[in-house]
Structure 1
Amino acid sequence: MKKKSTQDFYSKWFIAPAAILFIIFFVVPNLASFVLGFTDWSLYDFNNIKFNGLENFRRLFSEKTFAIAIKNTFYFAIVTVLIKNVFGFLMALIVKKTSKFNTLLRAVVFLPMTISVMVVAIIFVSIYNPTNGIINEGLRAIGLDSLTRDWLFDARYSMNSICLMDIWQGTGFTMCVMISGLQAIPTDYYEAAKIDGADKWQQLRYVTLPLLISSITISLVFNIISGFKVFAQVYSTTNGGPADSTHVLGTFLFKSFGNGFLGYSAAVGLFTTVLIVALSMTLLAILRKREVEY
């Protein structure tokens, strides 16, 4: 019998700490959420947990605020995912070649990713301030007072203002994914396309985009997961206001939990998890079919 090598032995133990943390902080809470989502557990009757079947979900879908939260979550995810991927792709095309200027530009675009969401929120709350924020002050300075708005607490603009904040922070991640994909494409394909008379647009359409599908897939899936998990961006700016107009699934769950309805909030979390998994797996299955090997 062949003895196990020391490397094989230690490799399993090296992943043990990460595996334990993953089980404790991800697997166990999700399993608990799956069970508790079908109970009436609350702080008001903490020691008396009763199975109530689908009652939590019936209550969820009858609440007007929950419908608003779903709509806003989809809106936030769709807008931010599309714009971050378009901007990230365009930035990647601009800075894909290695140079001192491009390296600096990459760092500038990626820098917001290194900042905490809460810090970014504080910055943008200041920028959006209706009295002395940079945007309104700038508009007044050029005589466009009529265009000044209360960007965060006017229901017509608040959701888009939060989306803009997330786009500013998250575009750098998409750019980095796209750059790695662009740099992995062999130059032979572009040389062959030039010989066949393809111009820059045709090279982009028939060479770059098809060979970049794997990177686009990664970026889309990660951004969709991030988009549907949105919480801190809303909580730290509007807290779901004004008049629940920026409520998302994350803030809805948080407020349900804060009100002591533990089983009900677990049902919200379970619904969100199933939604994210279903959308991510569907998108992954569709895009995987379009990937090209090279």
Structure 2
Amino acid sequence: MLKKQYYSYSLLVPGMLIFTVFFLVPALMSFYFAFTNWDASFTVTRHVGFDNFKTLFENEENVLAFKNTFIFAAVTSFFKVFLGLLLAILANQMIKSRLILRSVLFFPVILSSVAVALAFNAIFHPGKGLLNTALRSVGLDSLAMSWLTDPSIVIYSVAFVEIWKFTGMSMVLFLAALQSVPQDVIEAGKIDGASPLKMFRYVTLPMLKPVLNTNIILSVIGGLKVFDLVYALTGGGPGNSSSVINTLVYKSFATGRNGEGTAANLVLFLIVLITVLLLNKIINRNTSR
């Protein structure tokens, strides 16, 4: 009779030690420093209560950063999940070039965010950019815009780049789930005369729900925590039109307002935590029906 072999808890000590020192302790310390006047000299002279948090929400530029973060997370999450599912269905088709197709669709994910930002800075250039040049060449001059310098559309332009770069990750997760769908179930549906649309709605989609849930949560977290792509593309500009919470945190630390930066980071942590808990509750409730 086979006996289960259990590993000693002592094997967890190195990993837990690293996690505690480099992740848990700094996270707990941020709860303290967020309520102080921690400055550029990295000294704390007094506690300031909720003053750092009040400053965050009394400043219109900071409020705009929070608003942009929510817009960015909502737009990018929807399109990354929706387009990821469509691309996964396409890449799952039995065609000779499917391996090449999957590689091409996933390729943007592995590119450096800085390299992507430099490329799209050139593509979005209002005068000589590839996008506006192409639009003008087909007579769509009215659609040629200042994609990264117009305050009203810049956050959506940055969101487009995020969608282009990371949709491949959603696609890979959906693709793995599609390939795990039992073929006998699909064959049974075909024999019963179900159309491809009904097969997808009533057979495939229910089996994709766990991965769909994962994709939604990962996309929302990524959207709320975005920094590198925004900073490399626009630096939060023009003005503060494309600033997000993490660019706000960066600028606070860069200007020596470490207490305010820590407070903003703590607010972001709470936003992510609450959002994930709510999404989990909503998704699990809908899945259990």
TM-score where L is the length of structure 2:
0.91
Which of 51, 55, 60 is 1:59 aligned to?
55
Q: Which residue of 2 aligns with 1:103?
A: 99
Q: Which residue of 1 aligns with 2:7?
A: 8
| Amino-acid identity (%) | 36
Residues of 2 paired with 1:99 and 1:246: CA distance?
41
Q: Extract unaligned runs of 5+ from structure 1.
A: none
Residues of 1 paired with 2:123 and 2:33: CA distance?
41
Shift in CA distance, 78/103, structure 1 to aligned 2, threshold 3 Å:
same
- Asked if 1 retains the 8 angstrom alpha-carbon contact of 2:36 and 2:44, the reply is no
Deviation at 1:157, TM superposition (A): 2.1
Q: Which residue of 1 aligns with 2:27?
A: 30
Q: Extract unaligned runs of 5+ from structure 2.
A: none
Is 1:210–2:206 an aligned residue pair?
A: yes
Which of 117, 125, 129 is 1:121 aligned to?
117
Residues of 1 paired with 2:158 and 2:204: CA distance?
32
Residues of 2 paired with 1:97 and 1:51: CA distance?
61
- Asked if 2 retains the 8 angstrom alpha-carbon contact of 1:211 and 1:291, the reply is no
Moved more, 182-191 or 215-224: 182-191
Q: Which residue of 2 aligns with 1:282?
A: 278
Is 1:184–2:183 an aligned residue pair?
A: no
Q: Deviations over 1:202-232 (max 9, x none)?
A: 1111111111110001111111110000111
Residues of 2 paired with 1:23 and 1:192: CA distance?
52
- Asked if 1 retains the 8 angstrom alpha-carbon contact of 2:68 and 2:244, the reply is yes
Q: Deviations over 1:151-191 (max 9, x none)?
A: 10111221111011000100000000101111122123223
Q: Which residue of 2 aligns with 1:135?
A: 131
Q: Which residue of 1 aligns with 2:167?
A: 171
Residues of 2 paired with 1:152 and 1:89: CA distance?
28
Aligned residue pairs total: 286
Which of 39, 44, 65 is 1:42 aligned to?
39
Q: Deviations over 1:255-276 (max 9, x none)?
A: 1111111111101000000100
Residues of 2 paired with 1:116 and 1:25: CA distance?
25
Shift in CA distance, 122/16, structure 1 to aligned 2, threshold 3 Å:
farther
Deviation at 1:22, TM superposition (A): 3.1
The one-letter code of the counterpart of 1:108 is V
Residue 236 of structure 1: SS of its match in structure 2? helix
Is 1:68–2:68 an aligned residue pair?
A: no
The Cα RMSD (Å) is 2.2
The one-letter code of the counterpart of 2:134 is G
The one-letter code of the counterpart of 1:34 is F
TM-score where L is the length of structure 1:
0.90
Moved more, 104-113 or 57-66: 57-66
Q: Which residue of 2 aligns with 1:249?
A: 245
- Asked if 2 retains the 8 angstrom alpha-carbon contact of 1:213 and 1:287, the reply is no
Residues of 2 paired with 1:25 and 1:116: CA distance?
25
- Asked if 2 retains the 8 angstrom alpha-carbon contact of 1:41 and 1:262, the reply is yes
